[in-house]
């Protein structure tokens, strides 16, 4: 449904089968599908984990944790059943990539979950898809049914004598449920309130059993690593950042779309070559490099290699791969306000610094943007956000605070231009009035 785009710099790994009809299981098999899981069946679990570790694959859900390392934390012996849980909640603003994987290559996710399960000794895997993605749930449910019908999943898979079940699960609208412990609560039929850690899910997860939780794109990479080898995958990217990434270019850019580029691809090139630059004769003002929770980079800060470590060094995060481009016609105060409105809305309310902090920041930004700001507000916003950092029960509080701090610090002048009852200098004529009171 969503349009595909192409660029010669792309390196197709997870998007290799996009547009090739691979939702059909026979077609998927023709395109090397379910070969990797058969190869994995013949491998020792430790060898699978070593391969994934050596590939330099890091979590595509946001935090960029080593996938092989995560798998190695799962205890070998466990009284309770172990599980693999695929996170397809995809709700970080700016991110629309897992959607394409589910739409075009659902079996690659199933295969990734299966290989993960073989590596950690799990007998069941769950694929959680956000409620809004109904058409993708239908595709995934069919893919799972087809895999059972072929005997690839279920009892005695590929005649190996091993049983492995894969199930679909659906959400019903909640960003916070993408947080791994809240995801487990949701799957268990509860409100998505995060759990205290430790114990980490790898030790005590779903229904008390050790659980590996990975993003859909992370898991879709796994079959390619098993078939192509760790070395091949590692060399696609930069040191410690193996492979490619689905970068979702959005915002004020000429050719928005989801492009698969090698890890470490230069951000300036991504915006100007791949994305075709800023349209309408406008200039670049800021980029949010990895989804709404990542601190923005200014137009002077975009000579950065898009891998986890380089973007972190540049003061932001690679996050979930959502690259949101903002031109000079946009008001940063308004952008900060919309970002905060989101976090305030999605805060689960469990802990005070996040619940009250996001609410106060939202209210202050609304007043500030409307021209009712005083100079002290600017420092107060920064101070409050800085004091949320590291003091909330789950990382959503940080996700709300980090971008706010960057907006205030890097665009202080724009905040000052809103002071003393002045109307927003960017407000377009006939600007929309907010529908929400």
Ligand X SMILES: Cc1cc2nc3c(=O)[nH]c(=O)nc-3n(C[C@H](O)[C@H](O)[C@H](O)COP(=O)(O)O)c2cc1C
| C-alpha distances in Å from residue 250, one per residue of 88, 160, 210, 259, 275 | 20, 45, 37, 11, 9
Largest CA distance in the chain: 74
Q: Which residue has the tokens 């470590």?
A: 309
- x/- map, 252-271, other proteins, by CB under 8 A: x---xxx-------------
Interaction between residue 314 and other proteins (CB under 8 A):
no
Cis check for the bond before 207: say yes or no (omega within 30 of 0).
no
Extract the tokens encoding 14: 């997870």
Extract the tokens encoding 46: 């430790």
Nearer to ligand SF4 by C-beta: 35 or 355?
Answer: 355
The answer to whether residues 51 and 225 touch, using CB atoms and an 8 Å cutoff, is yes
The distance of closest approach from Cβ of residue 104 to other proteins in the complex, given in angstroms and rounded to an integer, is 14
Extract the tokens encoding 179: 């947080």
By CB under 6 A, what part of segment 358-417 binds ligand X?
Answer: 394-396, 399
Which of these segments, 44-52, 87-95, 261-269, 410-418, binds ligand X (CB under 6 A)?
A: 87-95
Interaction between residue 60 and ligand X (CB under 6 A):
yes
Binding site for ligand SF4 (CB under 6 A): 176, 194, 347-351, 354-355, 392-394, 396-397
Instruction: For residue 211, give the 3-state DSSP assignment.
Output: strand
The distance of closest approach from Cβ of residue 239 to other proteins in the complex, given in angstroms and rounded to an integer, is 29
What span, in angstroms and rounded, lies between the C-alpha atoms of 108 and 111?
A: 5
Backbone phi, psi, residue 126, to 5°? -120, 140
DSSP 179-209: SHHHHHHHHTTS--PPPPSSSPTTTS-GGGS
Q: How many residues bind other proteins (CB under 8 A)?
A: 64
Which of these segments, 22-30, 230-238, 302-310, 322-330, binds other proteins (CB under 8 A)?
A: 322-330
What span, in angstroms and rounded, lies between the C-alpha atoms of 383 and 430?
A: 35
* Choice from 34, 265, 342, 368 touching other proteins (CB under 8 A): 342
DSSP 362: H
Name which of ligand SF4, other proteins, ligand X, none residue 79 binds, using a CB cut-off of 5 to 8 Å depending on partner kind: none
Name which of other proteins, ligand X, ligand SF4, none residue 248 binds, using a CB cut-off of 5 to 8 Å depending on partner kind: other proteins
Nearer to other proteins by C-beta: 34 or 133?
Answer: 133
By CB under 8 A, what part of segment 277-306 binds other proteins?
Answer: 288, 292
Task: Report the candidate in 237, 226, 211, 246 with the shortest Cα–Cα distance to residue 96.
Answer: 246
Helix ranges (H only) for 259-304 are 267-269
Name which of ligand X, ligand SF4, other proteins, none residue 170 binds, using a CB cut-off of 5 to 8 Å depending on partner kind: other proteins
What span, in angstroms and rounded, lies between the C-alpha atoms of 182 and 91?
A: 14
The distance of closest approach from Cβ of residue 427 to other proteins in the complex, given in angstroms and rounded to an integer, is 12
Name which of other proteins, ligand SF4, ligand X, none residue 63 binds, using a CB cut-off of 5 to 8 Å depending on partner kind: ligand X
Nearer to ligand SF4 by C-beta: 287 or 405?
Answer: 405
The distance of closest approach from Cβ of residue 175 to ligand SF4 in the complex, given in angstroms and rounded to an integer, is 9
The distance of closest approach from Cβ of residue 184 to other proteins in the complex, given in angstroms and rounded to an integer, is 10
Task: Report the candidate in 245, 267, 269 with the shortest Cα–Cα distance to residue 258.
Answer: 245
Nearer to ligand X by C-beta: 97 or 418?
Answer: 97
Task: Note the residues at the interface with ligand X (CB under 6 A).
Answer: 59-63, 65, 87, 89-92, 175-176, 178-180, 213-215, 218, 394-396, 399
């Amino acid at each position: 449904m969503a349009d595909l785009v192409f660029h010669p710099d792309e390196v197709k790994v997870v998007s290799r089968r996009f547009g090739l009809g691979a939702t059909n299981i026979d077609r998927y098999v023709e395109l090397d599908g379910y070969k990797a899981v058969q190869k994995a069946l013949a491998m020792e679990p430790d060898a699978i984990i070593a391969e994934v570790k050596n590939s330099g694959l890091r979590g595509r859900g946001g935090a960029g944790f080593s996938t092989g390392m995560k798998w190695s934390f799962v205890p070998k012996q466990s009284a309770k059943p172990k599980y693999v849980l695929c996170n397809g909640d995809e709700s970080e603003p700016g991110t629309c990539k897992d959607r394409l994987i589910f739409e075009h290559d659902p079996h690659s996710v199933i295969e990734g979950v299966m290989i993960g399960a073989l590596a950690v000794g799990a007998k069941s895997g769950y694929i959680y898809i956000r409620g809004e993605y109904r058409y993708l749930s239908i595709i995934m449910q069919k893919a799972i049914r087809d895999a059972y019908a072929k005997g690839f999943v279920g009892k005695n898979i590929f005649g190996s004598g091993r049983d492995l079940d894969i199930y679909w699960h659906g959400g019903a609208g909640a960003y916070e449920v993408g947080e791994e412990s809240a995801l487990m609560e949701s799957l268990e039929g509860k409100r998505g309130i995060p759990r205290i850690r430790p114990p980490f899910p790898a030790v005590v997860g779903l229904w008390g059993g050790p659980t590996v939780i990975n993003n859909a794109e992370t898991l879709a990479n796994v079959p390619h690593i098993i078939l192509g080898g760790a070395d091949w995958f590692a060399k696609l990217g930069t040191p410690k950042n193996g492979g490619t990434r689905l970068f979702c270019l959005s915002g004020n850019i000429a050719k928005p779309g989801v492009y698969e580029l090698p890890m470490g691809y230069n951000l300036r090139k991504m915006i100007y070559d791949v994305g075709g630059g800023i349209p309408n004769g406008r200039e670049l003002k800021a980029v949010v490099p990895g989804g709404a929770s990542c601190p923005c980079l200014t137009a002077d800060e975009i000579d950065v290699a898009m891998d986890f470590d380089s973007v972190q060094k540049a003061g932001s995060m690679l996050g979930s791969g959502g690259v949101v481009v903002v031109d000079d016609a946009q008001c940063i105060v308004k952008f900060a306000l919309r970002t905060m409105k989101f976090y305030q809305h999605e805060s689960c309310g469990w802990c005070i610094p996040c619940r009250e902090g996001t609410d106060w920041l939202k209210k202050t930004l609304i007043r500030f943007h409307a021209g009712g700001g005083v100079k002290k507000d600017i420092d107060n916003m920064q101070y409050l956000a800085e004091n949320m950092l590291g003091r909330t029960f789950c990382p959503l509080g940080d996700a709300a605070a980090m971008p706010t701090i960057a907006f205030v610090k890097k665009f202080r002048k724009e905040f000052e231009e809103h002071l003393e009852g002045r109307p927003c200098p960017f407000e377009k004529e006939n600007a929309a009035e907010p529908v929400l009171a």
